[in-house]
Amino acid sequence: MAKRDYYEVLGVAKNADEAELKRAYRTLARQYHPDVNPNNPEAVEKFKEVNEAYQVLIDPQKRQAYDQFGHAGLNGQGFNYQDFQGFGGFGDLFGDILSDFFGGSSRKGGPRRGADLRYDLDLTFEEAVFGCEKILTIPKSAVCTTCQGSGAAPGTGRKTCPVCRGKGTISLAQGFFSIQRTCHQCQGEGEIIDKPCPTCRGVGRQKETSKVEVKIPPGVETGSKLKLTGEGEPGERGGPPGNLYIVLRVGKHDLFERVGDDIVCERNISFPMAALGGEVDVPTLKGSVKIKIPPGTQTGKVFRLRGYGVKSLQGGEGDQLVRVFVRTPTNLTERQRELLQQLAKEEPDPASVGNGSKSVWDKVKEALGG
């Protein structure tokens, strides 16, 4: 007997994601589990068929092979009933069934909140500093346009579950006790669908993309999160939608580095500028500005530009820190060499201590009896 299509077995579309596969598996595994269907060999075979389909489709490599070549593409690596662990192992499924038996479940027919979504957004350095607006394309589920979310084929509808008579639970008498558990036929819904919608296969939702406009405030950093209420997956049966969480990643800049709310950059200055002083242009995120270099500036000196940093999310604004480095001249002309030699003759030894007294080297030689 030829095997059925795995997507058909689980009742999902070929583009079903992991969450949809797990949801379909749980529903069918509960329905056909041997503990729920004692002495029912047909249910046992259905249970094995559901497990086989799930184990293949939940594995990315097996699913790719199956999508390309069908059952022949699995090459013996499909389903092993003895080794099967299913969704989190049978433990999850048994736990659900036990909780059903001992009153841990309730009818599922009420409103359900939609799932939250996450979107990772890349920003440039400038976009993070000054803020910006983005229009994002978000893939998510939407109410099926064919069945309007009912899950039933057009012209049909849901009907009262014949097993639980619409209650969503069934009672089992065990000795002196009467125990209620979720109805295995309708999974607690109280209703069943005779003819599932051909578009959504009875789920009531379908995949689509939506455009969302996002305002990024000034001062965000890598790891900052924005919450858009109600922009997640739609709810079920009138339940509220989930939220969309946007996680930001900020790129690096060629000239600037951010340290808290301050911006740090480096600026080379010439040897004469460091010695004599003057003015130099410094790049900032707000344009070029001039800073004064006092005479005798040493390499590594830091200058602060007030208010040229990042606008803080908590209020206020950082500064820009400019670290200068004195550039040693190379490839001197003859004239430059002469001038520097003349300067060297007149410049005191940097190792001299205090007011022109003997150099450190002279003191060392005297100490050694030189």
Q: Show the tokens assigned to 74.
A: 């699995």
CB-CB neighbours of 265 under 10 Å? 18
What is the model's pLDDT at position 110?
A: 60
Report the CATH architecture of 1-101: Orthogonal Bundle (1.10)
- Supply the mean pLDDT for the chain: 81
What is the model's pLDDT at position 101?
A: 42
Question: Between 187 and 245, whose confidence is greater?
Answer: 245
* Confidence at 100, pLDDT banded by 50, 70, 90: very low
CATH topology match: 1-101 vs 109-157+194-252: no
What is the model's pLDDT at position 301?
A: 96
Report the CATH architecture of 257-367: Sandwich (2.60)
d(CA 181, CA 187): 10
**Per-domain residue ranges of the chain:** 1-101, 109-157+194-252, 257-367
Q: Mean pLDDT over residues 71-90, rounded?
A: 49
- pLDDT over 70 at 161, yes or no: yes
* Confidence at 253, pLDDT banded by 50, 70, 90: very high
d(CA 206, CA 197): 11
The third-level CATH classification (topology) of the domain covering 109-157+194-252 is HSP40/DNAj peptide-binding domain (2.60.260)
Q: Mean pLDDT over residues 14-21, rounded?
A: 87
Question: Between 318 and 236, whose confidence is greater?
Answer: 318
Q: Is the pTM of this model over 0.85?
A: no
What is the model's pLDDT at position 337?
A: 86
Q: For the chain, where are the E strands, in sequence order?
A: 117-123, 132-143, 158-160, 169-174, 177-182, 191-193, 205-216, 225-228, 244-250, 257-259, 262-270, 278-282, 289-293, 302-305, 320-327
d(CA 38, CA 172): 14
* Confidence at 74, pLDDT banded by 50, 70, 90: confident
Give the residue among 247, 271, 276 at the shortest CA–CA distance from 329.
271
* Confidence at 321, pLDDT banded by 50, 70, 90: very high
